[in-house]
Structures are given as structure tokens and as C-alpha cells.
Amino acid sequence: MIKIVVAGFKGKMGATATQMVIDRDNFQLVGVLDPHSTESNLNQIGQYSQTDVPVFQTKEDLIESVQPDVWIDFTIPAVAFENTKFALKRKIAPVVGTTGFSEEEVKQLVGLSQQQQTGGLIAPNFAVGAVLMMEFAQKAAKYFPDVEILELHHDNKLDAPSGTAIKTAEMIAEVREPKVQGNPAEEELIPGARGADYQGMRIHSVRLPGLIAHQQVQFGSLGEGLTIRHDSYDRSSFMTGVALGCEKVVGLSQLVYGLEKLL
């Protein structure tokens, strides 16, 4: 039985992850964390009325009361880094879906996990289909170096581009030489019209109500094009990957970046 806490349990992703942990026989939810929560137990919230699990407002109170194996984090970028450090220092394996980490922050966390000999996972996207989309895009980029990434998310998302788009660009860059795309004399009549520039490839972010998480990787070549697209229509699509992460990290000795490392 893997003992798990969920940070950010009142957010949409956190609530979905909380229910996933409750529903799985091999997981035990031992606590949830939200600094703004006024409840002391999950059973005080209607949808969890049959679930006796303590609610904590601070990390320190949580760690004094429960001893989890895994820390699921779906909070916000401003606190996720500190939460992940906190977990690793106490040899709790983090499974982090909060995006917005810088490259330097990821390096720091990997280094800390190595010192602590503690596994962990930071994944820009937990949907298995999204991981396959990134893998397929990397394979295609060997033959189609002209590429643009279009990512579409709900209008409450805080970071842009998305972690998935950045991870996709990083994976493509591993097999593609930096290349300036488009007409070298092109001019943006409105700044930002061509999107973010990552080694010459462009990334465009759309934020609209009604969307969940979607990404299109579009390649162009002489006389042909290739489009690879993934759509998450419901947050439940991420839970297969979150559950897999929880099962795998307890057997690791350092933190890894990207769900594909565990598939």
C-alpha cells in the first residue's frame, strides 16, 4: 500500500487526483493540503463525506501528523518548487504536475533528489497520449525540420507556453539543428504575432474557456505537411499517468523529468 498526500486538493486537477487516490486499492490517501482550506477533515466536504482523511493548512503540520511515501502536487508555480524541495528533504517522493519550473529549478531538484537518494517525477503532461504525441513529433522532426507548435488550454492556466509545449520543443531540438523559419525579412506588425521563438521554431499559446489541454505540432516541407495532435477532453485523461508515477517513483533513487522516462 502506497501512502499518498495531495497538495492543492481543491483545484480541478488536485480534486481529480484526490479522487483517483481514493478509488485505487493499492493507494492510501493519508492527508491533503491547502493553505486556504477551513476544513479539518475531507468528510466535511460533500463529495468526500465517506472519506476520513485529515486536511492540513501547512506543510509542517502535515509532516508532523502523517508519514507519506508520495507527495502529489497540483498547486501553482509560485509554491510548487518549495513544496517539492520540502518533500525531497524528507525523503517523500514527489509526483508533480504543476508546470512553470525553470530549467535551473529542475536541475536543483534533481541534484537534491540524488543527495537524498529519493525518487520523484515532474511531468509537464500526465496523459499517455500526450507523451506519445511528443515522441512522435521528435521522430518526425528528423525529416521535417520546419515546425511550429500550437498549444491550447483553458483560460485559468497561469503559464505560457505550456510545460508540454516547452518539453516538446526541447525534445525536437535534440534531433533538429537550430533553424530560423519563415522569411528572413518578415516583420511582426503586432509584437508577438509569430509566437515565442525556441531555436527558430515558433510556439503559439491559446487560452480560452471551454478548453482543457490540447496541442498540435505542425510540420511543413516541400509539397507536403504533417500534423500531430493530442486532445485531453477531461482531466481524468491525466490520471493514468499520475497513478503510474506514484507506483514507479517509490522504486527510484532520483527525480526524473517527463512521464516518458517511466514508460
Which CATH number fits the domain 2-122+236-262, given the four candidates 3.90.1200.10, 3.40.50.720, 3.40.50.300, 3.20.20.70?
A: 3.40.50.720
Contact 171, 137 (CB under 8 A): yes
Is 8 annotated in a binding site? The answer is: yes
Q: Which one from 3, 85, 139, 157 is the annotated catalytic residue?
A: 157
164 close to 151: Cβ distance less than 8 angstroms:
yes
Strand pairing category for 147-153 and 213-221: antiparallel
- Residue extent(s) of CATH 3.40.50.720 domains in the chain: 2-122+236-262
* Cα–Cα dist 260/262, whole Å: 5
59 is catalytic: no
pLDDT grade, residue 253 (50/70/90)? Answer: very high
Whether residue 154 is annotated as binding a ligand: the answer is yes
- Give the pLDDT confidence score for residue 101 in this predicted structure: 86
Catalytic: 204?
no
Judged against a pLDDT cut of 90, whether residue 29 lies above it is answered with yes
Task: Please write the tens of the pLDDT for every residue from 2-24.
Answer: 999 999 999 989 999 999 999 99
pLDDT tops 90 at residue 158:
no
Strand partners for 224: 221
Q: Of 153, 167, 204, 230, which one is the catalytic site residue?
A: 153
Architecture of the domain whose range is 128-232? 2-Layer Sandwich (3.30)
Is the full-model pTM beyond 0.85?
A: no
Cβ atoms of 92 and 68 within 8 Å: the answer is: yes
pLDDT at 100 over 90: no
Q: Is residue 9 part of an annotated ligand binding site? A: yes
| Residue 144 annotated as part of some ligand binding site | no
